[in-house]
Amino acid sequence: MLVIRPIEARDYEALYQCAVESGHGFTSLPVDEDLLHRRIERAEEAFSKTVLQQPGEEGYLFVMEDTAAGEIVGVSGIEGAVGLSNAFYHYHLGKVVHHSARHNVYNALQTLTLCNDYTGVSELCTLFLREPYRKGRNGRVLSKYRLLFMAQFRERFAKQVIAEMRGISDEDGRSPFWAWLEKHFFTMDFPSADYLTGIGEKTFIAELMPRFPIYVNMLDKAAQDVVGKVHQNTLPALKLLQSEGFRFRGYVDIFDAGPTVEAEVSQLRTIRNSRIVTVRIGQPEVSENVLICNTKLKDFRACQADVNLCGDDVVLTQQQADALLVTAGDPVRIAPL
């Protein structure tokens, strides 16, 4: 059975393996032992922290565990609020018009402007599923359960949430967009810049990034062609988020120009369709496949399950109840999968 739970210190080796397998361009999971240990410690602190009024920079990190094999098969996370202590950068696609009525010239040109517009919003991040488990609905579960967690612990997150999509780069981690920036403003290859950002070393961005808007038509064609485009391996994740209500509003990553999508948390499909029901233990007669989680914080558990819904009750098998750490009479949150 595949169960999602908060990450623990004992999961370090599995997290490191996920980082290795994720490859170039996966900024939030760099291959760095100290950083990965800190991410686990930060997550354990977040799950133990009391949040009453507004979210801070809590980082929630979860693993998907194959309980039968005792193996970690995926990882994903949520940031409570980004950019509160370290600047959170994006390029915003805008437009300027050069117009001369006298000479009958009208040119509308796209620009890229460095900004911090997403400061304080929540972020879905660090979604990675290992290759052997990329089948069935596993990827969908690993992404969507986060919305159930946000619905259950609403006070821990902002009103708006974003997700940064991996942009286009080749097998060696070379990004056409970064290649243009490197040529004109940096002496640093894309994997190095990406790695520095992943470990939190972002001062070079403010020091070296162009401070004025960049005209898109000044980029070489290879760089222009990837602005706002998503890496092929990330297309399924993008489509899933779009089905939830996420939309692209013109913000792109400063390294590979991949799109960032955004949404109002309260309007997300899974959150709107989720509800609290009461557990009954038995053998479901009429099965419905749902995403289900308990209502606990530190002992949070989530999975997909075939259940029997009876009004405000849900019938679970004993195995399902044990996996979710619930007993008869406990509340759980469910949503269509």
Cα pseudo-dihedral 299, 304, 308, 312, rounded to 10: 50
Active site residue 37: no
What's the chain's Rg over C-alpha atoms? 22
Which residues make Cβ contacts (< 8 Å) with residue 159, sequence separation at least 6? 264, 265, 266
Cα separation, 100 vs 103, in Å, equals: 5
CA distances from 82 to 112, 152, 198, 252, 254 (A): 21, 20, 14, 16, 16
Q: Contact at 8 Å (CB) between 118 and 90?
A: yes
CB-neighbour burial class of residue 97 (10 A; exposed 0-12, middle 13-18, buried 19+): exposed
Assess contact for 60 and 124: CB atoms under 8 A.
no
**For the purposes of burial, counting CB atoms within 10 Å of the CB of 282, is it exposed (0-12), middle (13-18) or buried (19 or more)?**
middle
Q: Which of 24, 37, 90, 231 is catalytic?
A: 231
- Catalytic residues, by residue number, are 231
